[in-house]
């Protein structure tokens, strides 16, 4: 997946803003290339879990579709744990064609960004490329 530095910086800024809670959002794109970032409120307001605010999520997904783009990634942070899908992340991975970006903020000054495809409980890491 291609994620240009300015878009990654938008994600990181959002996640740092909501720290120590988990932050979450959607990434629009075309042909596996990110084009826009959409932060979504975490209604759980938790340091260990997230749930996107349903109305924001639906409106954003409709806007992405209306622009002729795809949902290319779903992102969230792990404020205190590694950038790897938790059991809950795996169980709630409802979009097998979408990349799950997990950003660890264990070391806030050195975020770790990793991408995964999660299909039927199987986790496969994918390369995140940017400029």
Q: Which helix (H) or strand (E) holds 51?
A: none
In a domain, 99, yes or no: no
- Identify the DSSP state of 25: E
Give mean pLDDT in consecutive 10-residue pieces for the chain, a chain of 131 residues.
97 98 98 96 97 98 97 98 97 95 97 97 95 64
**pLDDT at residue 131, as a whole number:** 64
In a domain, 92, yes or no: no
In a domain, 67, yes or no: yes
Structural domain count, the chain: 1
**Model pTM above 0.85:** yes
10: domain CATH number is 3.40.140.10
Give me the torsion for CA of 69, 74, 77, 82, rounded to 10°: -120
Query: What domain range includes position 34?
Result: 1-81
Q: How far apart are CA 85 and CA 101, in angstroms?
A: 9
Please give the positions annotated as active site: 22
In a domain, 131, yes or no: no
DSSP per residue over 88-119, as a string?
HHHHT---TTSEEEEEE-SSTTS-EEEEEEEE
**pLDDT at residue 130, as a whole number:** 84
């Amino acid at each position: 997946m291609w994620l240009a530095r300015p878009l990654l910086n938008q994600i990181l800024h959002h996640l740092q803003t909501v720290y120590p809670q988990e932050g979450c959002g959607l990434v629009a794109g075309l042909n596996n290339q990110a084009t826009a970032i959409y932060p979504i409120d975490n209604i759980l307001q938790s340091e260990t879990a997230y749930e996107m605010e349903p109305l924001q999520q639906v409106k954003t997904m409709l806007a992405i579709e209306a622009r002729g783009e795809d949902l290319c990634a779903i992102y969230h942070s792990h404020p205190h744990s590694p950038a790897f899908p938790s059991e809950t992340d795996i169980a709630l991975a409802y979009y097998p064609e979408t990349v799950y970006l997990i950003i660890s903020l264990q070391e806030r000054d050195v975020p770790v960004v990793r991408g995964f495809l999660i299909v039927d409980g199987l986790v496969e890491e994918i390369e995140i490329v940017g400029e």
